[in-house]
Every structure is written in C-alpha cells, then in structure tokens.
Amino acid sequence: MIVGKVVGSIVATRKNENLIGNKFMIVEPYDNMKGLSNRIVAIDNVGAGIGEIVLVAQGSAARIGCGQPDSPVDAAIVGIVDDSIGLE
C-alpha cells in the first residue's frame, strides 16, 4: 500500500465494461526521500476529493479492495488519511 495526494480526476466515456460507473482520480504517491513522485490513476470507491491524502492499494490487492476481482484495475484508493505525521 502507498500513501499519496489526490491531484485531479479523469473522465473516460469509453472504457472496459467492467469499469463503467467508477470514478478515476490522479494520485501523486509520496516517496520518502523526494516528496511527491510519478502520478498514477486509481479507482476511487471511498469518495476521495482533490487535495486529500489517500491510501492506495496496487496490483491484485487493488482489484480485491475495490470489489472487482475481474476488472483491469491496477490501483485503487482504499482509504482517506485523517491525520499523519511527517508526510508534508
């Protein structure tokens, strides 16, 4: 699992049928040494908003975590961080 900041959203009208109805957010993961690093697109099933710090699962954990084990999902927002020490 990684920690990142939601910096935007993506709208895709044409997509795999297993992804219909999902919200896609752009997340900048935190890198312990450099701060924010490369952006990723993650499915959001927890209602995260732009500017929030989130927990992101990747790989098969992302598909299971968002309840879509047969979908082409590589990253899913699985939590919103309420408080943290040392991130920013």
CA dihedral 20, 23, 24, 29 (to 10 degrees): -140
Name the token pair of 41. 């697109």
d(CA 41, CA 33): 22
Tell me if 6 is assigned to some domain.
yes
Contact 3, 29 (CB under 8 A): yes
Tell me if 85 is assigned to some domain.
no
pTM of the model: 0.84
Strand pairing partners for 42? 25
- Name the residue range of residue 41's domain: 2-71
Tell me if 88 is assigned to some domain.
no
Number of domain units in the chain: 1
pLDDT tens track, the chain, 88 positions: 899 999 999 999 898 888 888 899 999 998 765 655 689 999 998 999 999 999 999 988 888 877 777 888 899 999 999 987 766 6
Tell me if 14 is assigned to some domain.
yes
